[in-house]
Structure 1
Amino acid sequence: MTRTDAAGPDGAVRAWRGLADTSVLLDGFHAIKHALRFDARVPVALTGDRAGALALADELAPDVRAALDALLVEVPEERLRALVPRLHPTAMAALAVRPSRAANLEALARMPRPAPVVVLDDPRNLGNAGAVIRLAAGFGATGVVTTGTLDPWHPTVVRGGAGLHFATAVERMEVTELPPGPVFALDAEGVDIRGLKLPDDAVLAFGSERSGLSAALRERADHLVSLPMRPQVSSYNLATSVGMALFHWSAGRPPGLEA
């Protein structure tokens, strides 16, 4: 956690405007809470109701209450709405420093690793990508990689991830640059995942919501695997598919063993 030396609301708003174009927007209490828990650098945090925000922390996240108390600056809500396109109902927002790409790539490349990397092959839906990052963080995955044009640090993705981008390594890469490890690509024609044990160093790849796996990813795959699905049901939501695969991986680990 960090904080600017901004004095009062005017200084905090000036600091926000100076940092906004290069920082990660944390929208709402839960995003800020998760970012602080996973050691994000947060130079400025604003709220329209400081007492209410701290009361919420007392109730839901006492572990970050002191950090919030040190960070939060109260500004009139109309000024806050001018800075944040769609103010969260908790009337809180913060700016965080994006982790360095070099550090994320190092974490993704490190072997052996204790948990899989999730790859989203040319995803199109920002909300789905955020939900996947939230899932991956919850399971302790090593990271989430996207291929294609979607920016996994887009504000809408970060909003969907509830600040949990800071709990795992999130980067965009080319298929040819994917982290090491056997690639298990999810495909309807693959082998039923229930008959497989997914290794900790697996790279779990999921095709786009519209077109499935790209030719490049399919060629890169070491194994094609499928999720159980009732006949005449065409597909699952992307985040659902990722959750099912990560649960299958985690089911082979002793209870209480964290990645």
Structure 2
Amino acid sequence: MNEELLRAWRTGAEEPGAVLLDGFHPLKHALRFGGAVRQVLTADRAALLALAAELAPDVAPALDALAVELPEAALRTLAPRLHPTGVIALAVRPTAAANRAALADRPRPGPVVLLENPRNLGNVGAVIRLAAGFGAAGVVTTGELDPWHPAVLRGSAGLHFATAVERLTLAELPAGPLHVLDPEGTDIRATAFPDDAVLAFGTERHGVSAELRARADELVAVPMRPGVSSFNLATSVAMGLFHWMSGRPPGGPA
């Protein structure tokens, strides 16, 4: 039985679009936001269901139907660094076409966050988590980093499934006024971000490219104490999204 489950997992992991959910919280968010979860393996099924009943009763029935118990040693052949919650799952990411359609849909409920050529997987995961929490329409990356990398999914706690996440080129950006965060820009407090804005943030080391800066409808700067080099990428995104949200009426949709 164990060997059959392991073979089924390995086959599923090779399917196009398959992604690993490592731990309870990514799995919880994938189920909560309609992700296509295919397999759930756990070292302690009873403990997993008890955790769901305590922290996420809305997903407990789905977990009850999906979760299969395997010895921890068998699980570690699939995930050597097993999360302390002792659960892993396979899901299928939304197609690129579905994400592009969601990003292109107008009017948008919130801005699209653009990360130009990001380098740090953890930063990208944190940004996706922020975007989902603030109600952004999506997160777009350019460059070689895969925004659906397992380490990014860990950083986002599975909140990829709560917003559109896709890798595009600058030529493929969603429509909307492009506000580029740049130290040479106008003080962010003097402008407002519309719901259909594209908020662009540069790479952690070099900032935005000359190409992106030239395409901007507006350059915007977050005030910073002299002598401080820069803010962390995720912190900058949080400030940008909070500024957008601060311009909306209280009590409106997130």
Equivalence for 1:242: 237
C-alpha RMSD over aligned residues: 1.0
- Counterpart pick for 2:54 among 52, 59, 65: 59
Equivalence for 1:142: 137
- Counterpart pick for 1:119 among 114, 124, 127: 114
Query: Comparing 67-76 with 212-221, which one deviates more in the overlay?
Result: 212-221
Task: Report Cα offsets for 1:13-37 as digits up to 9, x if no partner.
Answer: 2221101133110010000000000
Map 1:34-53 onto structure 2 (within 5 A). Answer: 34-53=29-48
Residue 105 of structure 1, CA deviation = 0.3
Task: Report Cα offsets for 1:153-172 as digits up to 9, x if no partner.
Answer: 11111111110001110000
- Counterpart pick for 2:248 among 234, 253, 258: 253
Residue 176 of structure 1, CA deviation = 1.2
Map 1:149-228 onto structure 2 (within 5 A). Answer: 149-228=144-223
Letter in 1 for 2:92: V
Matched residues, number: 252
Q: Partners in 1 of 2:91 and 2:186 — Cα distance?
A: 42
Residue 11 of structure 1, CA deviation = 3.4
Q: Partners in 2 of 1:21 and 1:50 — Cα distance?
A: 25
Q: Partners in 2 of 1:21 and 1:230 — Cα distance?
A: 49
Q: Partners in 2 of 1:203 and 1:74 — Cα distance?
A: 44
Q: Percent identity?
A: 68
Q: Partners in 2 of 1:9 and 1:251 — Cα distance?
A: 52
| Residue 10 of structure 2 is aligned to residue 17 of structure 1 | yes
Q: Partners in 1 of 2:44 and 2:234 — Cα distance?
A: 34
Report the 3-state secondary structure (helix = DSSP H, G, I; strand = E; otherwise coil) of the residue aligned with 1:43.
Answer: strand
Structure 1 runs (4+) deviating above 3 angstroms are 8-11
Q: Partners in 2 of 1:45 and 1:105 — Cα distance?
A: 28
Task: Report Cα offsets for 1:62-119 as digits up to 9, x if no partner.
Answer: 1111111111000000110110142111010100011011011011111121200000
Residue 233 of structure 1, CA deviation = 1.1
Equivalence for 1:129: 124
Equivalence for 1:26: 21
Report the 3-state secondary structure (helix = DSSP H, G, I; strand = E; otherwise coil) of the residue aligned with 2:58.
Answer: helix
Q: Partners in 1 of 2:133 and 2:80 — Cα distance?
A: 28
Q: Partners in 2 of 1:44 and 1:139 — Cα distance?
A: 29
Residue 9 of structure 1, CA deviation = 4.0
Report the 3-state secondary structure (helix = DSSP H, G, I; strand = E; otherwise coil) of the residue aligned with 2:195.
Answer: coil
Letter in 2 for 1:104: N
Residue 230 of structure 1, CA deviation = 1.3
Q: Partners in 1 of 2:179 and 2:211 — Cα distance?
A: 14
Letter in 1 for 2:143: G
Query: Comparing 81-90 with 162-171, which one deviates more in the overlay?
Result: 81-90
Structure 1: gaps of 5 or more residues: 1-7
Q: Partners in 2 of 1:148 and 1:50 — Cα distance?
A: 40
Letter in 2 for 1:24: V
Task: Report Cα offsets for 1:197-236 as digits up to 9, x if no partner.
Answer: 1100000000000110012211221110011211111111
Report the 3-state secondary structure (helix = DSSP H, G, I; strand = E; otherwise coil) of the residue aligned with 1:150.
Answer: coil
Q: Give the TM-score taking structure 1 as reference length.
A: 0.95
